[in-house]
Amino acid sequence: MKRIHTAVEMQAQSDAWRGADLCVGLVPTMGFLHEGHLSLVDHSLEAADRTVVSIFVNPLQFGPKEDYAIYPRDMERDLDLLSRRGVDAVFHPQTVEFYPPDFSTSVEVEELTKGLCGPFRPGHFRGVTTVVTKLFTAVKPHLAVFGQKDYQQAAVIRRLVRDLNLDLRVEVAPTVREADGLAMSSRNVLLSAEERQRASALYEALTMGRKKIEQGERDASRIVAEMQAHVERALDASIDYISIAHPDTLEEITHIAGPVVIALAVRLSNVRLIDNIIAAPLDR
């Protein structure tokens, strides 16, 4: 498994693969890998001839009061996991190389970032789309794999690729969950034992919302209120949002007449957790 640190070296390697008519897949990560990440890696390994995993904790997507400094990192463990999985290359750029001191360019997708996480994390998605664009230009993938857990991020990246006519396809793999339903996340390790035990209430709330829709409830506000009450009973948490939104535009809806994404974000102490689930009326 190659370990590549500069964009120039990564481009040269991808050019060689492309010149040999090999399909290149990219799995962008911030490291501290778990089975959710590895499921994305498996997806790429199956779909592409060569798989690159990027590991880069991107400072541009963290706000000044967020957890960039304490975001968990374990590079040697990550490299061991990826080597045993059969990954072809790990792209691990240094921050100063990726963002030189006079770096002054950004990429932004506007409409899809106005709701859900957008208002609670100003600048976050601009940081995401900027770094992903740089990863795409460095790795030159034919396909890039993202996870459904970050539903809004995946939607934003798809729009980025479409709007800029980027020559690759974006594939979204299902959320991988713990036995109690909690979506796997690198941040889960930051939860206290009690918080971790109670965090399953998030998935319980999502499945409650889906069941209400399947049983015929069409008033989104009623479903959101019941989900909020469930989370508040189970957790000492600050709720950023619980939203029922259109799966493509991400705009909140009031009357449910078709497929929706039910999404939430909560803060347990200093740990922000997000999750989502797709739901649809059964009588459509």
Please give the positions annotated as active site: 37
Q: Supply the DSSP string of 185-220, one letter for each residue.
A: -GGGGGS-HHHHHHTTHHHHHHHHHHHHHHTT--BH
CA distance 156 to 112: 6
* Phi then psi dihedrals of residue 229, to 5 deg: -60, -40
11, 138 Cβ separation under 8 angstroms:
yes
d(CA 68, CA 44): 27
For residue 102, the SS3 value is coil
* Two tokens, residue 207: 């499945």
Residues contacting residue 149 through CB under 8 Å, at least 6 positions apart:
36, 175, 176, 183, 184, 185, 274, 275, 276
Q: Which value, to the nearest 10 degrees, does the dihedral of the CA atoms of residues 150, 151, 157, 163 take?
A: -170
